[in-house]
Amino acid sequence: MIASSIKPLALAGIFTLWATLVFAGHTIVGQVVDVVDGDILQVKTRDGLQTIRLADIDCPEPDQPYGDQAASLSKDLAKGQTVAVLVKGVDPFRRTKGEVILSGGESLNCRLVSAGLAWRETDSSNTVVRALETEAQSAKAGLWQDSNPEPPWLHRKKAGEKTPVESLSIAIPAHRGRITAPSRGVSAAIRARAARDWPGDYDMQQYVIRMQERSYMNVQNHRSNIPASVQEQIKADAARRWPGDYDMQEYVINKQTQAYQAINH
């Protein structure tokens, strides 16, 4: 029983380490077609759409001060542009982590830190980012104008956000009138996608299937105190941008809902 409860966590940790070792060091080239928030981009490459999480930095969340400014700067500098992504690994959400180099040769990651619109990640050893963060603090740029800005990782912790691995342990109760399991067609599509992405790796396929099925149920059962029309619009937009990827749909829906509530509080 103990071994079975530990396995998803251990597997995910092994996957993240393996993916970092395998994928770090190569470059992805593509066009930025969407900016989810300050440090998450959607890049269209010859192999399809890829989600890029900017490495070494952490931007304010959309419902935090300067979250909108961080997203706006990323959109102004990168959206519609062809960029090079220097890959550094993969995060627990299976997003590629990397440094985004803009068409003019400038680092988007560094621009955000210099503008005071991002923190250095606590586990980052990047000395350039560390120096830029110190300069931004001294100049009181962006979020450093506030006397005690809240780091986004603490903000997420307070909000109870969990990684996909942590969320595996959440039991979804059966509610009358609510979806408690994916339909046969949805399950087949999830399984087919897992088999395509992880051919021959059945442990990883099982993990991805469980995660996607949980996220599918959470997306379908999502309720909040915002107007129903806005909820449906947010869900429809997430489904359009991330077809078949219920993990990312859940992530985007939660972020958009939090941002709407903060704006209309």
Element (H, E) at 50: strand 48-54
Q: Are 90 and 23 in contact (CB under 8 A)?
A: yes
CA distance 247 to 234: 15
Q: Are 24 and 97 in contact (CB under 8 A)?
A: no
Q: Are 119 and 152 in contact (CB under 8 A)?
A: yes
pLDDT tens, N- to C-terminus, the chain (265 residues): 333 333 444 444 444 444 444 345 588 899 998 898 999 998 988 877 888 999 999 999 988 999 999 999 999 999 999 999 999 888 877 788 999 999 999 999 999 999 999 999 988 999 999 999 999 999 999 999 999 999 999 988 887 665 544 443 333 344 444 566 788 888 888 888 888 877 777 777 787 788 788 888 888 887 778 888 888 888 888 888 878 888 778 878 888 888 888 888 7
CATH 2.40.50.90, applies to 2-149: yes
CB atoms within 10 A of CB 243: 12
Contact residues for 247 (Cβ-Cβ < 8 A; gap 6+): 93, 94, 164, 211, 212, 215
What does the angle CA 259 – CA 36 – CA 25 come to, to the nearest 5 degrees?
Answer: 140
- Domain borders along the chain are 2-149, 178-263
